[in-house]
Amino acid sequence: MEAGTSASSQSIEDLIEQKCDTKQLLLEFELQLLLDIMHKDGLVIAAKGINMDYVLLNLMKVYCDEGNLVFVMNATEHEEKYFIEKINDPNMHNNLNAASTSDNRGDMYLSGGIHFVSTRILVLDMLKKKIPIEKITGIIILRAHKILESCQESFVLRLYRQNNKTGFIKAFTNSAQSFTMGFGHVERIMRNIFVKELYIWPRFHSLIISSLKRNEPLVIELHVPISENLQKTQTYILELMNLTVKELKRINKSVELEEITTENCLTKKFHKILQSQLDLIWNQLSTRSRQLISDLKTLRHLIISMLYSDPISFYSLLLEYRKAEYARNNNWVLLKPAELLFSHVNSLIFTGDREFNPELCPKWSTLIEVLKVEIPQDIMKSNSVDNKILILCSDRKTCYQLNELLRNGPHHYLFFMALKKGISFKSLSDKFKNCGDLNIASPDETNQKNSSNKRKKLKGEVEKEEKESKDKEVDESENSEDIGEYKESYILTMSQSMIGDESITSTKEEESFVFEPFSQLENINITQLAQAAQAAPTIIIQTFKGAENYINLERTLDVINPNYIVMYHSNITAIREIEMYEAHREKDRKLLIYFLIHAGTVEEQSYLTAMRREKEAFEFLIETKSKMVVPEDQDGKTDSCLNLQNISTQIMEKSTRRGGREEEPKTQHIIVDMREFRSELPVLIHKRGIHLEPYVITVGDYILTPDICIERKSISDLIGSLKSGRLYQQCTQMSRYYSKPMLLIEFDQNKAFSWQNYSSNLEGYSFDQVQQKLLLLTIHFPKLRLIWSPNPYASAQLFEELKQNKEQPNIEYATSIGDEQDFNIIETKYNSGIYDFVRKLPGINSKNIDTFLRRVKNMEGALKLTEDELKDILGNTNDAKAFYMCLHGEHTQDDDTNAKKGKGKFKKGFKSK
């Protein structure tokens, strides 16, 4: 019996108790969640930060047996390593990749256990029958909010349910807001993953509240006020944002822009809101509207930089926006609040007659007081050793900033940044008189050498903002610097003299700072740091989410086991992960957290807005669950499931209901290049009932019939191929081997079917230049046909129509032609025109054409050859006879009927003109 498929609730609990140590690992709500998902397949939607790692670990432990075959999809490489290390079982496999041979993968599948495998490999192995699909125990899906109808994961689940009606499907996600975009989004996701149950776990769930409250950390919330100068600066930027939003709505009264408000512009998801609302009508927006949207992004970057970066960096950024070349194309610079902003910003770093005396970041003094006063006093009271202090911030640049701040002091750091940014001043304040001997660590040397390049880069980015106003979301606090120069964590040690020193309560200058680089920092990881216990407290400066993805913070907390955490920046996910960590820890000494936030600022408002939006998303999901109708066969375990039926079959059933019965259509086949499975088109072709044959082919991407070969190009691929000349070579090969070559130009389904939406992707080309190159391509290849498709759905429908009443493609022929050696022979040895002419003669094929062209100098020489000599050259009697009759046979007409039909025959003997 397969675990979880037909077991009763009692047997499931026994199985969990037998294989998992739930009493030690799982909280009450986690145990309930595990029981729910084990008892009935479904989709679990949890709040951000409510990590389901322990639930997933125990779920995998239940099925980690050689008698089961379970696949885990959408896991990152870091997550795979994390789960494998935690479970530590030989039946956990993660070495399935494209480099491994299909035979090796087949053997590993047969060995059972849990497999982490990419969806592309999974699709190919399922289509090639390398996986015993009917023997699969189940599939676990992470990040289920990404399972759209046209994605590879949906393809895997469709193939799985078509051939396996008993296995389980269990899906997990932490993104509730993703299900609020579009109509019926959660219902569509549930249909795509073939589940009927929806499990909702918001932060305000009673079980979660009670579970986390039993062992909650001690939190000291520090409201840090900002200076009067910063308050004025914030007011001016918010006025600019408000004016921009009003103007955008005024000139686009017919467009729904309810979500575009000043409040929402401050949230991290602002770019996704814009993208979802405006992508389909982007080509219809005026140039003025696009510029206003770009201005909103710029202003958000400004207000985030004001709070997150230092005053010098913020001042330098504003100087770039003030330049004439930027103001020429950006109207917000000419508004009255902008004029006040530019005139006021000097007061942030200058006093009097351009005396250099910048304000310190408000949180710096609070952070230093916490590290030098509050924490040492608590350490003295507890008499604990091996104390670790974790400072959490949002980005790498802030990590570097805090590292230099603690090591060298705020005045040294600001003076260095002024030199780096090229800020000119007449005199120095007394606080900066002793900043001549800088001791700034790497990457400073690199930064000094490249400071001018960076300013040029920023200037280029500023000028390019109009064209790139719809780029993917990036961390706005970092996008003006090269984040590759900064680390995502730094380690410092506090001098032992701090503890017990009564003078720490007094105000000190930065020379008294006692933070030093960790002596064993080189080539050390977090685990080694945790093991290297020291008497002096250790400070780790870490980002919320590193390059290794979301488990980074959770694993950092688990391995380092900090005694103190300083939340330098606010983040909902990080706060809840700390709550989860403390609830699992259950130690006598509670974790002490210092939460720093600017009260009454956009930082606090953005944090509250993010909480409100998530709460509204869960309320929407709860309401949707109470009203939505779930078909009985939605799980795909019966043949009547509509989502498993082909689109063509559904259309045929509708037509037969109207009258008449059609014959069962024959199974259609299409040869697909294996590299094409990275795109959405193969999924949608299969959904139309066409069987896919995945092979490595060098001519074309899709072979529909013996005559039709199609090369698919997205817009970005098309531009790149036109620039490199690769498209010319591909069209040459298609025209050489197929009588009906086609070039499919496919647009993005999320954008309007218009070139105007792709102006930023043309890489320096204008639309007219692209048209000219395509025109030259069709002139050079008369047989080539261009197909313009608005989206992959239209392409799949077109393929089905092109294949109607046509022969199936020849797999042996498609896989044997057009290899690199053949193409090199053509390009380097022979005239392409002569090669194409000879290739079309009877008896000449890809196997003997090279030998023929090498041994026969011209057609006059070919006429002199006997049939036996041709047999020796072409290597085949039939080919030799066909070629000989082509040259020496007489074409006569049998009758008028054959003449009309174009039929005739060769008569022996050559008839001279």
Q: What does the mean pLDDT of the chain come to?
A: 79
Closest-CA residue to 494 (of 507, 477, 513, 475): 513
| Burial per residue of 700-718, b for 16 or more beta-carbon CB atoms within 10 angstroms, e otherwise | bbbbbbbebbbbbbbbebb
- pLDDT for residue 11: 65
Q: Is a pLDDT exceeding 90 seen at residue 891?
A: no
Give residue 64's identity as a one-letter amino acid code.
C
Q: Is the pTM of this model over 0.85?
A: no
pLDDT of residue 363: 92
Higher pLDDT, 555 or 688: 688
pLDDT at position 904 over 50: no
Instruction: Look at residue 912 and tell me whether its pLDDT is greater than 50.
Output: no
Of the chain, the percentage scoring pLDDT greater than 70 comes to 77
3-class SS at 892? strand
pLDDT at 625: 92
b/e code 878-907 from CB counts within 10 Å (16+ = b) = ebbbbbbbebebeeeeeeeeeeeeeeeeee
How distant, in Å, are the alpha carbons of 569, 620, 688, 704 from that of 801?
Answer: 56, 41, 11, 11
DSSP result, 826-859: HHHHS-HHHHHHHHTSTT--TTTHHHHHHH--SH
Which is more confident, 201 or 273?
201
pLDDT of residue 465: 40
Helix and strand numbers, DSSP H then E, in the chain: 41, 25
Which stretch of 138-152, 255-269, 422-436, 654-668 has the lowest confidence by average pLDDT?
654-668
Q: State the pLDDT confidence band at 523, using cuts at 50, 70 and 90.
A: very low
User: How does pLDDT run across 780-820, given as a tens digit for each residue?
Assistant: 888 899 999 988 999 999 999 999 888 999 998 888 887 65
625 vs 270, which has greater pLDDT?
625
pLDDT score of 505: 38
For residue 759, the model assigns a pLDDT of 59
DSSP string, 90-107: TTEEEEESTTS-HHHHHH
Q: Is the pLDDT of residue 4 over 70?
A: no
Please tell me the distance from the alpha carbon of residue 171 to that of residue 779, in angstroms, as a whole number: 52
Written as six digits, the tokens of 737 are 């081997």
Distance CA 825, CA 72 (A): 45
Question: Does residue 46 carry a pLDDT above 90?
Answer: yes
**Which one of 222-226, 584-588, 904-908 scores highest in mean pLDDT?**
222-226
Residue 612 has a CB neighbour count (10 Å cut-off) of: 12
First-to-last alpha carbon distance for the chain, in angstroms, is: 83
Query: Could you read off the pLDDT of 175-198 as tens digits, one per residue?
Result: 898 888 777 789 999 999 999 999
- The string of pLDDT tens digits covering residues 5-43 is 434 445 666 666 666 665 457 889 999 999 999 999 999
Q: Residue 315: enclosing H or E segment and its boundaries?
A: helix 311-322
Say whether pLDDT at 351 is over 60: yes
The pLDDT value given to residue 208: 94
Looking at the predicted structure, is the pLDDT value of residue 656 above 70? no
| Across 596-625, average pLDDT | 91
pLDDT of amino acid 441: 45
What average pLDDT does the segment 480-493 reach? 67
**If you search the block for the tokens 């008449």, which residue do you land on?**
660
3-class SS letters over 22-59: HHHHCCHHHHHHHHHHHHCCEEEEECCCCCCHHHHHHH
Cα separation, 550 vs 646, whole angstroms: 38
Task: Inform me whether the pLDDT recorded for 143 exceeds 70.
Answer: yes
Q: Is the pLDDT of residue 229 over 80?
A: yes
What pLDDT, on the 0 to 100 scale, is given for residue 585? 82
What's residue 565's pLDDT?
93
Name the pLDDT band for 764 (thresholds 50, 70, 90): low
For 501-526, letters b (16+ CB in 10 Å) and e give eeebeeeeebeebbbeebeeeeeeeb
Phi, psi angle pair for 596, to nearest 5°: -100, 125
63-72, 79-88, 99-108, 805-814: which range is least confident on average?
99-108
Dist CA 789 CA 745 (whole Å): 6
CB atoms within 10 A of CB 288: 12
Query: Among the listed ranges 231-240, 829-838, 850-859, which one has the minimum average pLDDT value?
Result: 829-838
**Per-residue pLDDT band at 503 (split at 50, 70, 90):** very low
CB contact set of 99 (below 8 Å; sequence gap of 6+): none
pLDDT at 887: 84
CA angle 849, 853, 855 (to 5 degrees): 115
In the prediction, which pLDDT does 830 show?
66
Task: Give the DSSP per-residue string, 594-605.
Answer: EEEE-TTSHHHH
For residue 202, say if its preceding peptide bond is cis, omega within 30 degrees of 0.
Answer: no
Looking at the predicted structure, is the pLDDT value of residue 136 above 90? yes
- Residue 854 or residue 709, greater confidence: 709
Q: How high is the pLDDT of residue 488?
A: 76
| pLDDT over 70 at 532, yes or no | no
**What token pair was written down for 779?**
């002139």
Most confident range (mean pLDDT) of 294-308, 488-502, 543-557, 638-652 is 294-308
What pLDDT, on the 0 to 100 scale, is given for residue 896? 46
